[in-house]
Amino acid sequence: MILWLNPVTGVSGDMLLGALLGLGAPLEDVRAAVESTGLAGWRLRSEQVQVNGIAATKAVVEVDDTSTERHASELIARVRRARPEPVAELAAAAVRAIAEVEGALHGQHPDDVHLHEIGGLDTVVDTVGVAAALHVLGVTAVHSAPLALGTGTVRCAHGVLPAPAPATLQLLRGAAVVGTDLPGETVTPTGAALLTTIGTEFVPPPAMTVQNTAFGAGTRRFPQRPNVLTATLGTPLTAEPAEPMLVLECNVDDVTGELLGHVIDRALRAGAADAWTTPSTTKKSRPAHVLHVLCHPHREPALTELVLSETGSLGIRSHQVDRRALPRRTTTVTVEGHAIRLKHGPYRTKPEHDDVAAAAAALGRPLHVIAAEALAAAD
């Protein structure tokens, strides 16, 4: 599954978790992953809220121990206990990324870093919860629009710092960002670390079939702007595999149109995938046609013999092409007692001309009217 995010007001751990719960990640599975860490004194629930007229999902995390300061090594050891193993790996990588950035900023080894605002036990719930939700949803690729960054300042244990905070900017190396007039912190270190460690690609929406869209609610409220993270889940659009085929061609300037039609019909009955002609002008300004026959390579000998024997041409060309054939199916409808086949493709449904013509002749009605009635019957 593909996850595409649109963080127009930024991203945080709880916003991402809320969006994933809104997409259908079972709350019970997420709770079970957090419980597997052995963490005590926590609660996680989801609430449906209205944010500027948008129905969104808010992940509400509560912990009994409200201290926000811990050594990063303590949090890493805790999230490593999560199960299943992929959940533990992702959650630990996110916390480790925060520790490495903080260590670089303060000249400390990551294992010795003392986290302040993000050292709370709710970080365990957020990181393990997001990792578990991604796992249960089967997300294999994450794409995102540019992250909206706020302006002004943010207050923390080290005093008043510019927004975005230095640690957040370090975590966003390689990410696409865009400036906004939103005040304060819009992208949290936890949100930035999660997006980084899951390998988010900051590109336009990929080619996919949309399965579901949800909105993760943030805590802050902005005037005339919903503080929500849009998350869309989809399946990738896979192109039909290319099929190697041959095109046989010859120039003919001394055969009739009836003969060309006869050759096309014979070629199709003999297994050609398609056959057609194009008008051309040959040497001495002679009007002519190019006869084309599309076929699988194993049919080349028989179709070459057919074309040469029927047209009397003194030569034929062949070249390889790659064909991508879209899936199609055929159904049958009844229009005033007459059966009409319909060919359905991904983008269009078309009545079979022969069936429509036969019904129109039998009923004494215009062909286009019968075709329209056949399509209406299909709908």
Average pLDDT, stretch 360-368?
Answer: 95
State yes or no: pLDDT of 117 exceeds 80.
Answer: no
Residue 192: is its pLDDT beyond 80? yes
Closest CA to 12 of 232, 227, 233: 227
By mean pLDDT, which of 4-13, 14-23, 99-108, 134-143 is the weakest?
A: 99-108
* pLDDT at position 159 over 80: no
Work out the pLDDT band at 240, boundaries 50, 70, 90: low
Q: How many Cβ atoms sit within 10 Å of the Cβ of residue 376?
A: 10
User: Is pTM beyond 0.75 here?
Assistant: no
Reported confidence tier of residue 317, pLDDT bands at 50, 70, 90: very high
Give yes or no for residue 223 having a pLDDT over 80.
yes
Q: What is the pLDDT of residue 70?
A: 86
Output the CA torsion sign for 22, 23, 27, 33.
negative
**C-alpha–C-alpha distance, residues 34 and 14, integer Å:** 14
pLDDT band at 112 (very low <50, low <70, confident <90, very high): confident
pLDDT at 327 over 80: no
Provide the residue ranges of all domains of the chain, joining segments of one domain with +. 2-236, 243-323, 329-378
pLDDT of residue 116: 65
* Measured CA distances, 31 to 106, 314, 337 (Å): 34, 77, 60
**Among the ranges given (136-140, 235-239, 267-271, 344-348), the one the predictor scored with the smallest mean pLDDT:** 235-239
Neighbouring CB atoms inside 10 A of 112's CB total 12
**What is the topology classification, in CATH, of domain 243-323?**
Alpha-Beta Plaits (3.30.70)
Kindly state the average pLDDT of the residues 252-273: 94
Residues 36-48: pLDDT tens digits? 999 999 999 999 9
pLDDT recorded at residue 154: 76
pLDDT of residue 23 exceeding 70, the answer is yes
Per-residue pLDDT tens over the stretch 48-62: 999 999 999 999 999
Write down the mean pLDDT value for the chain.
91
Q: Which residues contact 81 (CB under 8 A, 6 or more apart)?
A: 36, 37, 38, 88
Per-residue pLDDT for 119 more than 80? no
